[in-house]
């Protein structure tokens, strides 16, 4: 399992943040995306910071969502 070494709380937020980012991009709401980016990076605890780092800086929202879809198709 990808990110098995991450805390459960981090893994629980990765897919939610990927969907959140995808929606704001689709709605052309860069203002909202900039606001949550700042909040997750600077005002939230380490769980949110790490999950956002994975979605935003490491994997990207599309990759996370593709991984979710692939895992659903395997079941």
Q: Any idea where the domains of the chain sit in the sequence? A: 8-74
How far CA 35 is from CA of 2, 21, 50, in Å, comes to 28, 11, 17
* pTM, rounded to two decimals: 0.88
Q: What is the CA radius of gyration of the chain?
A: 12
- Which pLDDT value is given to residue 68? 85
Q: What is the pLDDT of residues 10-56, one digit of tens each?
A: 999 999 999 999 999 999 999 999 999 999 999 999 999 999 999 99
Please give the Cα distance from 2 to 11 (Å, whole number): 9
């Amino acid at each position: 399992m990808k990110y098995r070494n991450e805390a459960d709380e981090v893994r629980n937020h990765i897919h939610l943040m990927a969907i959140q980012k995808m929606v704001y991009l689709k709605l052309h709401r860069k203002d909202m995306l900039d606001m949550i980016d700042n909040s997750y990076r600077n005002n939230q605890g380490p769980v949110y910071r790490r999950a956002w780092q994975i979605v935003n800086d490491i994997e990207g929202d599309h990759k996370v969502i593709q991984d979710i879809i692939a895992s659903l198709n395997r079941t």
